[in-house]
Each structure stands twice: as C-alpha cells, then as structure tokens.
Amino acid sequence: DAPFHARCTRQIHAKVLVGINKVTFPPPCKGAAEDLVRSLCKEDPSERLPMKEGGVANLKKHTFFKGFDWQAFEKQSLEPPYKPQVKNKKDIGNFHALKDDLPPQVPYKDDGSGWDKDFATSTFDDPEEQEAGHDLMTLTLLTPSGLQVTPLGNAPLPVRVPIVNPAHVSTHQFT
C-alpha cells in the first residue's frame, strides 16, 4: 500500500498531516531509498535535499544514485533497462488497457427532440443541400467527448456525415 493509504479521505488527510517521519517503509525500501524519500519530503522546504547549499548536486551525490551515469542521462544516451519486443511500427501488443482507463459508458436516451436526425440520414451530397448554403466539412470523432472539425472549402467531392454511434455522443450542443 501507499504510505498514506486509507479507506476514506479523512483518514488519508490525517496520515498526511502526521507526516513522512511516521511512515514505516517496507524492507525493500529501507536504506538509501528511504533516506532519499525522507530527504525530499521534509516539512520545511529549505531542509529538502536539493534546496540545501549545493542544490541539485546534493541529489546527484545521494547514495541512492551511486553508480548512476548522470552524464549519459544528460546526453540522453542511457540504455533502457527493458526493451520490449516490437513486431512493427504499428504493434501495440505491449500495451494493455486497464478497465479503469476506459471512458465511462453512458447509455444513450433519445430525448425525442430530433436533434440527431440529420446525422443518420444526411450525406450532404445532394446539390440542393449544397446550394442552400451548407458548408462542407469532415467530422472526425476524436474522443467520446469531442469532434475535430476540418473545413473543406469548395471541395468538389461530396462529403458524407457518418452515422453517429449514440454511445459515443457527447452532451455538447453544436449550433
């Protein structure tokens, strides 16, 4: 668990107010790691490791970073600790969506106003619709809550408006 983990917000706040000095670190985090965290979380900001005389150099010299190649880090030439196997540029097999990362699914409820009738039927390829002053544009659904609108100007090709999946419609109104 995290050091300030608790069942309710009030308990979390109470643990935070007690401070980092009352936190018990697990055995794998004892020693240099614990000392580094405690030295960065001092209540008085002027007592925190990089804020003391010597600045960020204090951080670089800390025993936790013993053996770390700061020059390679600054040159961005460090070897990664893990290199995933990638089949091609479009391979996303190393990424797994977590249930909590998915957007909430809100069921669509038709309010009966008919605001969405043109999305399902109009293709804007009727010359009368174009002459009536309808601007041609491409609508690209980016996220469940937004649209990217790209004007096409006087494009000679008809533009079809996709049928909108009601599960992905945001509550924003466009005029």
pLDDT tens sequence across 105-115: 777 778 888 87
Give pTM, 2 decimals. 0.46
pLDDT for 73: 94
Cα-Cα end-to-end distance for the chain: 49
Instruction: List, as one string, the DSSP characters of 114-150.
Output: -TTHHHHH--S--HHHHHTTPPPEEEEEEETTEEEEE
pLDDT tens sequence across 90-100: 988 888 777 77
Domain extents for the chain? 9-75, 98-175
Chain centroid to CA 36: 28
Residue 160 and residue 129 in contact, taking contact as beta carbons nearer than 8 Å? no
Instruction: Please name the residues in contact with 62: beta carbons below 8 A apart, sequence gap of 6 or more.
Output: 32, 35, 36, 39, 49
pLDDT tens sequence across 132-152: 444 444 444 444 444 444 444
